Amino acid sequence: MNQNELYQQVILSHNKSPKNFGKPATFTHWAEGFNPLCGDHYFIYLTIEDDVIKNVFFEGEGCAISKASASLMTESLKNKTISDVESIIKKFHDYMTLSQGNLKDLGKISVLSGVKDYPARIKCATISWHTMKQAIETPVSE
Amino acid sequence: MDKNILAKIREDFPILGTEVNGYSLVYLDNAATTLKPKYVIDRLSKHYLYETSNIHRGVHFLSQQATTYFEEVRDKVKSYLHGDSTWETIFTKGTTGAINFVAQSFGSIFNSGDEVIISQMEHHSNIVPWQMLRDRKNIVLKVAQMDERGILDLEHLESLITEKTKLVSITYLSNALGTINPVDKIVKIAHSKNIPVLIDAAQAIAHITIDVKKLDIDFIAFSAHKMFGPTGVGVLYAKKQLLEKMPPIEGGGDMIASVRFDKTIYNTIPYCFEAGTPDIAGVIALGVAIDYINSIGLKNIEEYEHKLLQYATQKLSEIKNLRVVGTSPNKSSVISFVLDGIHPHDVGSLLDSKGIAVRTGHHCAQPVMEFFKIPATTRASISFYNTKEDIDRLADGILYVQSIFE
């Protein structure tokens, strides 16, 4: 595969201008994800109401693959129920780490499909997804 | 080195003919591990094909032959480091193994409150063993600072020394920055207070002529695989006078003179520090790697690499939005850099797509990254088989990376 397929235009533009980037004034759940090996470092902030993700933001620093993946994820998970989100996370994770299934029915997220062929970069794509899973389970303490 | 010699040298490294992603390989990851000349690989193969045998105490031909070849390498190490009978060669698994051995063995005679001084530019292998010793024996670990060019602050180092300081352990050549440290001055400072010095020569060993006698180094550690030898073998070259105070860390075969259930008598130095069957073929092949370097001449290598590093520094400094990390005037073999707005991992992947192997990340020197407030760098590290064309390919590759992210 040509490396240009890894750095597709959609990925480059999400890296340049990430969606839902920053720390919101209020949120109900959050988590921090850090990969000390490469320095990728992200925070996910969620507002969960009635088991629905009403709002999702992320902030942090990392490579283009990690940032684009986080940006695409926030776009696709907004206004979805927790159970839907959990099954999408599982689908993404299984595809990336176990080569099971595909990302075709996940909309724009499918631009990340090519990452799977670069074992050294899979963690870049999955860090924000792991952090998302953790955020759902971590309400803000009073 | 003239073009013909260089071309001939490159033929000694069959891997240089490899194609990566449709391009001929440009290998600029020598600081991680150097490539292996065919003579080293042939020697490993010859041992296993025709000479396999365990060393020491064997009365049969093959065992005696293997023992001779193995033991000869101690002398090759001695000559390579310009040592004499004041020092002894101990074979380890690598630089990390050698430093851990000193931390565990020499460290075992330290008392609570005793101090070890390292520097801010150390590889994790010269940090973590001392932290483990700190946790075990309650010693104090002190860190000598560097400046924003990556130059060690000798005055600060000196100011850290107290009556409790038991060892100064510093890298000769920073793998993350390329800084050559003034080992002569470091040793003088330490020895004026009777403190021994350990030099981590993992990065220096293939690039700088080291004279342990002139520098009066007490312990020096290096790995075979960073000097064109096999992985899994390293050396601690140390003053016998210090080794005599140090207990063995690993017990087992080969390190004993006699074993009874009530009392075991240890073998002599260096054997008492080499328990178990070592990497015999690896040690013998290290000898060939040393011969190979000597055949080219370390002085010639130093001169050529110096010019190549200057060329690379010049070439890279012409690229916009590129910052070299580590700008000491006294550098060797390593050029670390960051590109504005582009993460090193993306740089590494895109250079790889053009057949260029560099390393990206913290280079096992996270405190260095923290000091420069960057998550990682891209590091190109050279060896004598690299060419100006390799550097041109790197520079073009960087421009390509920047064009993708425009």
Instruction: Supply the ipTM of this predicted assembly.
Output: 0.87
Residue B247 near residue B64 (C-beta atoms within 8 A): no
Query: What distances in angstroms separate CA B327 from CA B26, B176, B323, B365, B378, one per listed residue?
Result: 24, 12, 10, 17, 15
Q: What confidence category does residue B97 fall into, taking pLDDT thresholds of 50, 70 and 90?
A: very high
Domains and CATH numbers, chain B: 3-30+297-404 (3.90.1150.10), 41-295 (3.40.640.10)
Judged by CB atoms closer than 8 Å, whether chains meet at B343 and A64 is answered as: yes
Domains and CATH numbers, chain A: 3-136 (3.90.1010.10)
> Residue B283 corresponds to which amino acid?
V
pLDDT of residue A1: 44
- Sort out which chain B residues have CB atoms less than 8 A from A6's CB and list them: 349
CA distance B358 to B347: 9
What is the arithmetic mean of pLDDT over B7-12?
98
Judged by CB atoms closer than 8 Å, whether chains meet at A65 and B346 is answered as: yes
User: Å from B346 to nearest chain A CA?
Assistant: 6
Percent of chain B with pLDDT over 70: 100
Closest CA to B178 of B326, B302, B30: B326
Q: Which residue of B has its CA nearest to A63?
A: B343
> Cβ neighbours of residue A10 under 8 Å, at least 6 residues apart?
A68, A72, A108, A111
pLDDT of residue B145: 98
- Residue-wise pLDDT for B148-158, tens only, equals 999 999 999 99
Angle at B405 (CA atoms; ends B403, B406), nearest 5 degrees:
65
- Sort out which chain A residues have CB atoms less than 8 A from B404's CB and list them: 4, 7, 12
- Residue-wise pLDDT for B114-166, tens only, equals 999 999 999 999 999 999 999 999 999 999 999 999 999 999 999 999 999 99
**Mean pLDDT over each residue of chain B, to the nearest integer:** 97
CA B170 to chain centre: 12
A114-118, B187-191, B292-296: range with lowest mean pLDDT: A114-118
Q: What confidence category does residue B190 fall into, taking pLDDT thresholds of 50, 70 and 90?
A: very high
Residue B281 near residue B44 (C-beta atoms within 8 A): yes
Closest CA to B210 of B256, B173, B175, B250: B173
- Residue-wise pLDDT for B365-390, tens only, equals 999 999 999 989 999 999 999 999 99
Q: Which residues of B33-56 are buried (b: 16+ CB within 10 A; e: fewer)?
A: bbbbbeebbebbeebeeebeeebb
Q: Which residue in A6, A7, A37 is closest to B361 by CB distance? A: A37
Q: Give the helix/strand (H/E) hosting B197.
A: strand B197-200
Judged by CB atoms closer than 8 Å, whether chains meet at A7 and B361 is answered as: no
Q: Which residue in B349, B375, B404 is closest to A39 by CB distance? A: B375
Judged by CB atoms closer than 8 Å, whether chains meet at B349 and A4 is answered as: no
Q: Which residue in B21, B345, B369 is closest to A124 by CB distance? A: B345
pLDDT of residue A36: 78
- Sort out which chain B residues have CB atoms less than 8 A from A40's CB and list them: 375
**CA contacts within 13 A on the Cβ side of B254:** 15
What is the arithmetic mean of pLDDT over B294-302?
97
pLDDT of residue A142: 57
Q: Which residue of B has its CA nearest to A119?
A: B349
Active site residues of B: 364
pLDDT of residue A3: 54
Residue B90 near residue B98 (C-beta atoms within 8 A): yes
Judged by CB atoms closer than 8 Å, whether chains meet at A6 and B352 is answered as: no
Q: Which residue of B has its CA nearest to A38?
A: B361
Q: What confidence category does residue A67 fall into, taking pLDDT thresholds of 50, 70 and 90?
A: very high
- Residue-wise pLDDT for B246-279, tens only, equals 999 999 998 999 999 999 999 999 999 999 999 9
Q: Is the pLDDT of residue B346 over 80?
A: yes
What is the arithmetic mean of pLDDT over A83-88?
96
What is the arithmetic mean of pLDDT over A30-36?
92
> Cβ neighbours of residue B347 under 8 Å, at least 6 residues apart?
B339, B358, B360, B378, B398, B401
Q: Is the pLDDT of residue B213 over 50?
A: yes
- Sort out which chain A residues have CB atoms less than 8 A from B352's CB and list them: 3
